[in-house]
Amino acid sequence: MVRKLPVCFLLFSAFCFSSLSLSASTKPSDAITGPGPGFTLHPNPVTSSWFHINLVFSESDYPNARFSISNVLGEIIYTAPIKKTEFAGAKVRVDLADLKIDKGVYFVQVFAGEKSKILRLIVR
Protein backbone atom coordinates (compact mmCIF):
# COMPACT_ATOMS: atom_id res chain seq x y z
CA MET A 1 0.00 0.00 0.00
CA VAL A 2 1.41 3.37 -0.99
CA ARG A 3 0.04 6.52 0.62
CA LYS A 4 0.74 10.11 -0.38
CA LEU A 5 1.02 12.48 2.56
CA PRO A 6 1.76 16.21 2.66
CA VAL A 7 4.99 16.89 4.51
CA CYS A 8 6.03 20.19 6.04
CA PHE A 9 9.20 21.11 7.91
CA LEU A 10 9.47 24.20 10.09
CA LEU A 11 12.92 25.55 10.85
CA PHE A 12 13.72 29.19 10.22
CA SER A 13 11.19 29.21 7.42
CA ALA A 14 8.53 26.82 6.23
CA PHE A 15 9.38 24.22 3.59
CA CYS A 16 6.54 22.20 2.13
CA PHE A 17 6.60 19.23 -0.21
CA SER A 18 3.45 18.36 -2.08
CA SER A 19 3.66 14.67 -1.25
CA LEU A 20 5.79 11.92 0.17
CA SER A 21 5.32 8.28 -0.81
CA LEU A 22 5.41 5.71 1.96
CA SER A 23 5.33 2.00 1.33
CA ALA A 24 4.40 -0.62 3.94
CA SER A 25 5.68 -3.56 1.93
CA THR A 26 7.84 -6.15 3.68
CA LYS A 27 7.10 -9.17 1.53
CA PRO A 28 9.97 -11.62 0.82
CA SER A 29 9.95 -10.78 -2.89
CA ASP A 30 11.46 -7.38 -1.97
CA ALA A 31 14.76 -9.23 -1.52
CA ILE A 32 14.54 -10.79 -4.97
CA THR A 33 13.74 -7.71 -7.06
CA GLY A 34 15.90 -4.68 -7.59
CA PRO A 35 19.65 -4.24 -7.89
CA GLY A 36 22.05 -6.45 -5.99
CA PRO A 37 22.11 -10.09 -5.04
CA GLY A 38 18.71 -11.53 -4.16
CA PHE A 39 18.30 -13.32 -0.84
CA THR A 40 15.81 -13.91 1.96
CA LEU A 41 16.18 -14.71 5.64
CA HIS A 42 14.35 -17.63 7.26
CA PRO A 43 13.04 -17.74 9.87
CA ASN A 44 12.69 -14.06 10.54
CA PRO A 45 12.11 -13.29 13.36
CA VAL A 46 14.54 -15.90 14.68
CA THR A 47 13.28 -17.76 17.74
CA SER A 48 15.85 -20.57 17.74
CA SER A 49 19.65 -20.60 17.67
CA TRP A 50 20.05 -20.43 13.88
CA PHE A 51 18.69 -18.94 10.65
CA HIS A 52 19.28 -19.40 6.93
CA ILE A 53 20.30 -16.91 4.28
CA ASN A 54 18.41 -18.25 1.25
CA LEU A 55 20.34 -17.33 -1.90
CA VAL A 56 18.45 -16.30 -5.03
CA PHE A 57 21.58 -16.13 -7.18
CA SER A 58 24.22 -18.62 -8.24
CA GLU A 59 27.97 -18.84 -7.87
CA SER A 60 28.32 -18.18 -11.61
CA ASP A 61 26.41 -14.87 -11.11
CA TYR A 62 28.58 -13.71 -8.19
CA PRO A 63 31.54 -16.08 -7.55
CA ASN A 64 33.12 -14.00 -4.76
CA ALA A 65 29.97 -13.27 -2.76
CA ARG A 66 30.17 -12.78 0.99
CA PHE A 67 27.89 -11.71 3.81
CA SER A 68 28.14 -9.73 7.01
CA ILE A 69 25.99 -9.23 10.08
CA SER A 70 25.96 -5.86 11.82
CA ASN A 71 24.16 -4.41 14.82
CA VAL A 72 21.98 -1.30 14.87
CA LEU A 73 25.06 0.85 15.53
CA GLY A 74 26.56 -0.30 12.23
CA GLU A 75 29.27 -2.36 13.89
CA ILE A 76 30.09 -5.50 11.91
CA ILE A 77 29.73 -8.51 14.19
CA TYR A 78 30.55 -11.22 11.67
CA THR A 79 31.61 -11.55 8.06
CA ALA A 80 32.32 -14.60 5.90
CA PRO A 81 32.53 -15.68 2.25
CA ILE A 82 29.76 -17.76 0.76
CA LYS A 83 31.21 -21.24 0.16
CA LYS A 84 30.73 -23.51 -2.87
CA THR A 85 28.72 -25.98 -0.75
CA GLU A 86 26.42 -23.17 0.36
CA PHE A 87 25.88 -22.10 -3.26
CA ALA A 88 25.07 -25.73 -4.11
CA GLY A 89 22.35 -25.84 -1.45
CA ALA A 90 21.28 -22.24 -2.19
CA LYS A 91 21.46 -21.36 1.51
CA VAL A 92 23.86 -20.40 4.26
CA ARG A 93 23.15 -21.64 7.79
CA VAL A 94 24.16 -19.15 10.47
CA ASP A 95 24.40 -20.43 14.06
CA LEU A 96 23.76 -17.60 16.49
CA ALA A 97 25.23 -19.50 19.43
CA ASP A 98 28.62 -19.58 17.69
CA LEU A 99 28.46 -15.82 17.09
CA LYS A 100 27.19 -15.01 20.60
CA ILE A 101 24.42 -12.79 19.25
CA ASP A 102 21.88 -11.56 21.80
CA LYS A 103 18.22 -10.78 21.21
CA GLY A 104 17.67 -7.65 19.15
CA VAL A 105 17.69 -6.18 15.65
CA TYR A 106 20.54 -6.86 13.24
CA PHE A 107 21.26 -6.31 9.56
CA VAL A 108 22.42 -9.00 7.16
CA GLN A 109 24.22 -7.68 4.09
CA VAL A 110 25.18 -9.80 1.10
CA PHE A 111 27.97 -8.42 -1.08
CA ALA A 112 28.35 -9.58 -4.67
CA GLY A 113 30.86 -7.80 -6.83
CA GLU A 114 30.05 -4.08 -6.82
CA LYS A 115 26.51 -4.70 -5.55
CA SER A 116 25.07 -5.41 -2.13
CA LYS A 117 21.71 -5.77 -0.46
CA ILE A 118 20.69 -5.47 3.21
CA LEU A 119 17.82 -7.09 5.07
CA ARG A 120 16.78 -6.60 8.69
CA LEU A 121 16.96 -9.62 11.01
CA ILE A 122 15.10 -9.81 14.31
CA VAL A 123 16.38 -12.20 16.99
CA ARG A 124 13.91 -13.01 19.77
Question: Residue 76: its pLDDT value, please?
Answer: 96
pTM for this entry? 0.72
Contact 112, 65 (CB under 8 A): yes
| Contact between residue 51 and residue 120 where contact means Cβ atoms under 8 Å apart | no
DSSP 61-84: T-TT-EEEEEETT--EEEEEEPPH
**Would you mind telling me the total number of residues written for the chain in this entry?**
124
The residue among 101 and 10 whose pLDDT is bigger is 101
- Kindly tell me the burial class for residue 1, based on how many C-beta atoms sit within 10 Å of its own C-beta (0-12, 13-18, 19 or more): exposed
Q: Using one digit for the tens of pLDDT, what is the confidence trace for 68-82? A: 999 999 999 999 999
Q: Give the pLDDT confidence of 50-71 residue by residue, as tens digits.
A: 999 999 999 999 999 999 999 9
- Measured distance CA(54)–CA(51) in Å, rounded: 9
- Domains detected in the chain: 26-123 (2.60.40.3080)
